[in-house]
Amino acid sequence: MSDRDIAIIGYAETKSSVQSGRGVYDIAGEVVAGALASAGVDIQEIDGFATCLSQTEATNPFWSPTLADYLGLELDWCQGVDLGGASYLGALARATQAIRAGDCRTAVVMGADAVTTTNRSRMSAYRPEWQWPVGLMGPPGTFGLLTNRYKTEYGLDDNALAKLAVVQREHAILNDNACDKLRKPLTAADYLASRVISDPIRLLDCVMPCDGGSAIIVTSTERAKELGIERMIHPVGYGERTNYRVRDPLVDILDGGHSIAGKKALANAAMSPADIRMFHPYDDFLIAVLLQMEHIGFCGRGESSRFILETDISYRGKFPINTSGGQISAGQPGLAGGGVNVVEAVRQLFGEGGPRQVKNPVNAMTTGIGCIPYIRNWSVSNVMILAAP
C-alpha cells in the first residue's frame, strides 16, 4: 500500500448539530456536492460508492443503492458498510481496494446520519436475552466494566482523561463544524465533576449524538494526474480486525484488535509508531483513546495515562490528538461518526486546518471502533495511515 497508488482528492463535512430537523438525504446531498467541488471533479466521474449505514434509515434494507439514486450516481461498484463506528474508515479502505482491483475508477466514500432527528435503529442479537434483563446501560455500561478492570490491573490517572477532554474541547472551539452545544470552554475540574452514569464513566467521558455527515473522493493516483489534480494525499497503510479473540472466553478485555490492525497498518506503511505525526483516533469514550494508544504501541500497556500527561497533545504539540475536537467534543453524527476523525486527518494533510493546523503535516493515523459485543470491548478495530505526497 505504501506505493501511493491511491489518492484522496477531496472532502466535505457538514456542521454537526443536535435535532437539526434535516433528512439524511439532504445531509448526503450537501456532503457529496461539497466533496465533488473540493476535488474539482464532475459527478460523471464517479463510478464507485461506499457509505456507512445510517441510524435514521436503519429500517431501509436497500440503503446504498437508494441513496446513490438520490445522488444521481450510476455505478460499477456500490457498497453499504455495516461495521458500526468502524464503517467510515472501512468504507474508505474498501473503496481503495475496489479501485485497485479495477472494479471502479473514482469513488465517493460518505456517511450521513440524522440520528437525533429520527432514529430507526433497533438493537437485537444477544441484547434482549443476555443484556437488557440485567440493566447494563448500553455503551457507557460496557466501558464502565472495561475502565474498572483497567483501574484494577494498571491504575488510571483521571487527570489524563481530564487533559484529553480539555484539549479536545479546545480543538472543537477552533472547529466551526463542531456542535455549538459543545463549543464551550471546559476545565479539568468540570470534567472531574461531571455526573457519573455507569461507574466510573462520567457524562463527559461519552460522545453526544448529533446529526451530520461527511464525504471523501478517492481515485487512483494515475487517474488523479490524468484529471490534472495536484492536491492529493495517499492512504499508505491499513489494517482491520473483527471479533479479536472471539473464541477465547477468558479474553483480556484490555487488549484489542487494534494491536493487530495497528501493526498491519504500520507494516504496510513501513513505519513505526514514532513516525506518526498526528493521531485521529475514534473516540466514542475517552478511555478508548488511551486503550488504542496502548494497543497500537505508542506506549506500553498501562502507560497511556502517563504518556498523555507528559506529551503536548494539542495541535501545536509533538503528538496532536483529534485536532477537530474528535467526536467527544465535536459530536457524533450517528453511524457517520467515524468521519469526524477521518476527515480531520485528510483536512490536516491538505494543510486546511486553519487556526488548528498542525505544522509539518507529513502523515496522520486514524482509526475506527465498531459495535459492542457481549462483555468484551468492541467488535471491529481498524487503523489507516494517510501520508502527504
Partner 1 sequence: MAEAGQWRRPQPIATSFTEEFWAATKEKKLVLQFCPESQKFQHYPRPLSIYCGRRNIEWRQASGRGVVYAYTVTRRGPPEFHGREPYIVASVELDEGVRILSNIINCSVEDIRVLMPVQLCWEPIENGLHYPLFEPAKR
Q: Which residues bind partner 1 (CB under 8 A)?
A: 126, 128-138, 141, 144-146, 148-149, 152, 195-201, 246-247, 249-250, 253, 374-375
Residue 8 burial (CB count, 10 A): 26
Helices (H) and strands (E) in the chain, counts: 12, 11
Q: How far is the CB of 151 from partner 1 (least distance, A)?
A: 8
Cβ atoms of residues 28 and 63 within 8 Å: no
The nearer residue to partner 1, 133 or 185, going by C-beta atoms, is 133
DSSP track, 254-319: TS-THHHHHHHHHHHHT--GGG---EE---SBHHHHHHHHHHHTSS-TT-HHHHHHHS--STTSSS
- Nine-digit cell string for 167: 484539549
The sign of the CA dihedral 190, 195, 201, 203 is negative
> By three-state DSSP, how is residue 383 classified?
strand
Peptide bond into 281 cis (omega under 30): no
Q: How far is the CB of 301 from partner 1 (least distance, A)?
A: 16
DSSP track, 251-267: --TTS-THHHHHHHHHH
Q: How far is the CB of 345 from partner 1 (least distance, A)?
A: 32
Q: How far is the CB of 79 from partner 1 (least distance, A)?
A: 27
DSSP track, 81-136: E--GGGHHHHHHHHHHHHHHHTS-SEEEEEEEE-TTT-------TTIIIIIGGGT-
The nearer residue to partner 1, 148 or 311, going by C-beta atoms, is 148
The nearer residue to partner 1, 201 or 364, going by C-beta atoms, is 201
Q: How far is the CB of 307 from partner 1 (least distance, A)?
A: 23
Q: How far is the CB of 371 from partner 1 (least distance, A)?
A: 15
The nearer residue to partner 1, 97 or 148, going by C-beta atoms, is 148
Q: What is the DSSP letter of 379?
A: S
Strand partners of residue 220: 6
The nearer residue to partner 1, 61 or 133, going by C-beta atoms, is 133
> Which residues have a Cβ under 8 Å from the Cβ of 185 and sit 6 or more positions away?
169, 170, 173
* Closest C-alpha among 100, 175, 202 to residue 352: 175
Q: How far is the CB of 5 from partner 1 (least distance, A)?
A: 37
Q: How far is the CB of 89 from partner 1 (least distance, A)?
A: 27
